[in-house]
Amino acid sequence: MCGIVGVLGDHEVAPILVEALKRLEYRGYDSAGIATVNAGRLDRRRAVGKLVNLSDLLVHDPLAGKSGIGHTRWATHGAPSIANAHPHRARRVAVVHNGIIENFRALRDELVAQGAGFESDTDTETVAHLAQVFLDQGLAPREAAERTLERLEGAFALLFLFEGEDDLMIAARKGSPLAVGHGEGEMFVGSDAIALAPLTHRITYLEEGDRAIVTRAGAQFFDDQGRPVNREIRTIEIDATRVEKGGYKHFMAKEIAEQPSVMGDALRHYISESGEIVLPGGGIDFTRVSRLTMVACGTAYLACMTAKYWIEQLAGLPVDVDIASEFRYREPPIPEGTLAVFVSQSGETADTLAALRYCADKAQRIVSVVNVPESSIARESDLALPILAGAEISVASTKGFTCQLAVLALVALEAARQRGTLDAPTLARHIEDLRSMPGRLNAALATEPRTEAIARLLSEATDVLFLGRGAMYPLALEGALKLKEISYIHAEGYASGELKHGPIALVDNTVPVIVLAPHDRLFDKTVSNMQEVMARGGKVLLVTDARGAAEAGEGVWQCLAMPEVPELFAPILYALPAQMLAYHTAVAKGTDVDQPRNLAKSVTVE
Ligand code: HGA
């Protein structure tokens, strides 16, 4: 999603802005731009496509100045074009925006009637013109920005820069995240701490409704009522090496390979030396919980679907799983005793955050599972459980997903312990099994050369089906999602038993059917469904273990043998072949793996 940066520096700011925007590239974007104030004069440069186009433009048409704002745009209103790229400008004001101004049509009509000339199709441009109207009325920049913000409906992170003001940026947050970075005689603003990582580690996160008046001397913060407020400066340790590819061709490849180590970190964080589960903040009192509502989007939603199998089976608690964008407008009843759980890698997913706010005064407790502990979702939860995956840069989530699964598995086991639904030896065995997962993930990574060879064949396909049964069903959905996200091959995931109720009509010898089937208690059932596919000429790729391959591998198109894994945690391990297949298929097709078309990371608009 859109990335915002702002710098009041003591060096030429254009290269610093472009570098900071590069660190936000991972969010996905279609165009980019910067604006600076140089000796009072406001100017801007914008380009469509990758940041290199903006850099090239700046070589031929440089932009001087030590104060500036920058933006990577993921279009919501208006096609990716130079005219629609940010910063948007009215005469004396430039603005960059993340979010959607919902009343922009009415504002635009009003401004056009007053003589404003619009250049773009965006909602954002109304903000610049509105601020200019207030400047024209003789208001100072700060009041003009304030009066502008009062008129805006919807969600935004906004950063204003003004002609004639070399030492001023105004930042505002309603719905979309924004952070202020504190330097020595320099000040910064960014969509997240990663954007500011090499510039400063001292960060203040704007709270919902906050505005910040930023000068080189520091920042003053005001709440949504305009009252001055103190906001904490935190020291954020973002390991710069975690934001680099580290010799891998793509961030996705690096993040797939990191899974054993980051999962080890996560498990050590939550499991004591003596094998007890330790949740932070006093944990969760499951004796007071009668059901769970789990809400998320995309891959995180599929992690919740997997957790439903675990929590229901291990702890005997009913679990509802919802897509956040549906949940928030359906306004479901939240029965007493409901524990509401929100899962989001970035912790900023707009729909998930809205769903959390809907539950805030209704659920017994709000728990979140996030990768960014300073995120809005974490901060608005009663209890935030970090997944400790480290910065995830690739748009397609990999280590984020498996670390979410690991933390949710621990939640399921802790619920079972408190509710007495597992005896002590069984619980201890499951915890030990979970602890063994990093080693098993390493063994799964060793199958990569074979996965790569199969992926080359898969890249010829135009449609692919994924099948799974039990907790492998959400993984079939995840395998299909990953493949379509980055290789653009149409893929669907189905519950194996559901195949004959419709999708089997799609099967012919051009449609690879990927069957995710460890040799577990449901293996025979899944194999029967697989036989139904093969009987109709379908090409089956069986992803199984050595026993599964020995029993059912004969006659399949391809067989991929995974290491042994305890049945309960097979979805964690089988995520890896699904990820590696998608990755190598995308590489074979030559797509933009880390920033697939039309997609964005940290989905901060609804
Ligand atoms: N609505 C604005 C900004 C879009 C955005 O925030 N995307 O993440 C536009 O379309 O330019």
**Is 295 among the domain residues?**
yes
Tell me, yes or no, whether 378 and 496 share the same domain: no
Which pLDDT score, from 0 to 100, does residue 194 have?
Answer: 84
Which pLDDT score, from 0 to 100, does residue 159 have?
Answer: 98
Phi-psi region of 172 (alpha: psi -120 to 50; beta: other; left: phi over 0): beta
Which pLDDT score, from 0 to 100, does residue 374 have?
Answer: 86
Tell me, yes or no, whether 311 and 337 share the same domain: yes
Q: Is the CB of 1 under 6 A from ligand 1?
A: yes
Tell me, yes or no, whether 109 and 14 share the same domain: yes
* pLDDT at 25 > cutoff 90: no
CA of 74 to the centre of ligand 1 (A): 6
Query: Given CA atoms 569, 574, 579, 582 in this order, what sign does their dihedral have?
Result: negative
**Is 433 among the domain residues?**
no
* pLDDT at 28 > cutoff 90: no
Tell me, yes or no, whether 208 and 269 share the same domain: no
pLDDT tens digit string along 215-229?
Answer: 999 999 999 999 999
pLDDT tens digit string along 400-430?
Answer: 999 999 999 999 999 999 999 999 999 999 9
Which pLDDT score, from 0 to 100, does residue 242 have?
Answer: 60
Q: Which of 101, 123, 178 to mutate to test the pocket of ligand 1 (most atoms within 8 A of CB)?
A: 123
Q: Is the CB of 594 under 6 A from ligand 1?
A: no
* pLDDT at 241 > cutoff 70: no
pTM: 0.85
Q: Is the CB of 390 under 6 A from ligand 1?
A: no
**Is 141 among the domain residues?**
yes
**Is 280 among the domain residues?**
yes
Tell me, yes or no, whether 469 and 543 share the same domain: yes
**Is 429 among the domain residues?**
no
CA of 96 to the centre of ligand 1 (A): 9
pLDDT, mean over the chain? 95
DSSP secondary structure of 532-560: HHHTTT-EEEEEEEHHHHHHH-TT-SEEE
* Domain span at 44: 3-235
Tell me, yes or no, whether 255 and 391 share the same domain: yes
Which pLDDT score, from 0 to 100, does residue 10 have?
Answer: 95
Which pLDDT score, from 0 to 100, does residue 240 have?
Answer: 55
Active-site residue numbers? 2, 601
* pLDDT at 245 > cutoff 90: no
Q: Is the CB of 515 under 6 A from ligand 1?
A: no
Q: Is the CB of 75 under 6 A from ligand 1?
A: yes
**CATH number of the domain bearing residue 498:** 3.40.50.10490
Tell me, yes or no, whether 192 and 332 share the same domain: no
CB atoms within 10 A of CB 424: 9
Tell me, yes or no, whether 226 and 257 share the same domain: no
Which pLDDT score, from 0 to 100, does residue 265 have?
Answer: 93
The stretch 523-531 carries a mean pLDDT of: 91
Both structure tokens of 409 = 């598995």
Q: How far apart are CA 116 and CA 128, in angstroms?
A: 10
Tell me, yes or no, whether 219 and 286 share the same domain: no
Higher pLDDT, 193 or 144: 144
What are the φ/ψ torsions at residue 344 (nearest 5 degrees)?
-155, 125
Of 235, 269, 294, which residue is a domain's last?
235
**Is 602 among the domain residues?**
no
pLDDT tens digit string along 147-190?
Answer: 999 999 998 999 999 999 999 999 999 988 899 999 999 999 99
Give the model's confidence band at 601: pLDDT under 50 very low, under 70 low, under 90 confident, else very high.
confident
Tell me, yes or no, whether 167 and 103 share the same domain: yes
Higher pLDDT, 106 or 601: 106
Please give the DSSP secondary-structure letter assigned to residue 563: P
Number of domains in the chain: 3
The stretch 547-569 carries a mean pLDDT of: 95
Give the model's confidence band at 606: pLDDT under 50 very low, under 70 low, under 90 confident, else very high.
confident
Tell me, yes or no, whether 352 and 291 share the same domain: yes
Tell me, yes or no, whether 300 and 389 share the same domain: yes
Q: How many CA atoms lie within 13 A of 82 on its CB side?
A: 7
CB atoms within 10 A of CB 257: 19
Which pLDDT score, from 0 to 100, does residue 239 have?
Answer: 63
What are the φ/ψ torsions at residue 122 (nearest 5 degrees)?
-80, 160
Q: Where are the alpha helices (DSSP H) in 155-270?
A: 193-196, 251-257, 259-270
